Amino acid sequence: ATVIEQAALHAAVSRFKATVDATLDAVFMYDPHTLHLTYVNRGAASLAGSDPTELAGLRVLDLQPDLDEDSFRRRIRPLLTGEVDSATSTGTMVRRDGSTVPVSTFTQCVRLPDGSSTMILTAQDIADQIEAKAQLARIAQQERHRAAELAAVLEGMRDAVLVVDDEGTIRLANGAARELGGPALGDLDGLARALGVSTDDLPHLAEATVGRSVALPDGRWLDWSNYPTSLGNVDLEGDVGVSTIVMIRDVTRQREADRAGCAVVEGLPLARR
């Protein structure tokens, strides 16, 4: 019966090792009392840059030089006492060539039928994740810088600039636009009321319009230009909305100067024309 039980146990261990070796994660098993490694899979050997036989007999601390033994034992004590089921952490692991690799670790304590315990530490190389986060941070910083530059340029423009979504809501307005429509500028209806005209008197957002003149009741003239464009507005259903960039220029003085010039020309004798 003992032989049969040992044979069954050996078969189970073999299946376990075959399964663990097939995973890409690095799996280290170590004695919680001596901290010596008792088993490493292929992923662990690859992460450590060593052959599995070269790792045999090493202590788990030999692979994590940033940790001292006292702090490491305090970390695994709650696992041994059953206070927690697992623990995760991030750190570095040293390779055979002396280089280090950032890792994320997941540790569990497994209690065996004979009453003993073993620790299983699963580690993942997170160098790519760290680099990806750093790259995203750099991109975000560049985008914030570009956005600040764009905001400064827009604020410095004499023309009013608006970004309006397909429902007429104003998503962005520069200083000239706020001066034209008021500080509480919210949508095109509010802009039309501020200008003293009807929304129907303004060019439709869906139309690409360049330099259309809009006469206001107070005698001012505005050149109005629409530039429909997709700015990546995605609704809850996944449809990409169309935004419109609106540029408005007050051309009242220009038109008055033109009219004054025409009046002077009309008053000249025919020979002098």
- Please write the tens of the pLDDT for every residue from 76-91: 999 999 999 999 999 8
As a whole number of angstroms, the distance between CA 174 and CA 158 comes to 9
Query: Strand, helix or coil at 3?
Result: helix
As a whole number of angstroms, the distance between CA 147 and CA 161 comes to 15
85-117 residue pLDDT tens: 999 999 899 998 889 999 999 999 988 777 788
As a whole number of angstroms, the distance between CA 41 and CA 25 comes to 9
Measured distance between the N- and C-terminal CA atoms of the chain, rounded to whole angstroms: 125
Give the distance from CA 183 to its chain's centroid: 32
Mean pLDDT per 10-residue segment, the chain (273 residues): 60 58 78 92 89 86 89 92 92 90 92 84 90 90 89 89 89 90 84 89 84 89 88 52 86 84 58 44
Does the pTM surpass 0.85? The reply is no
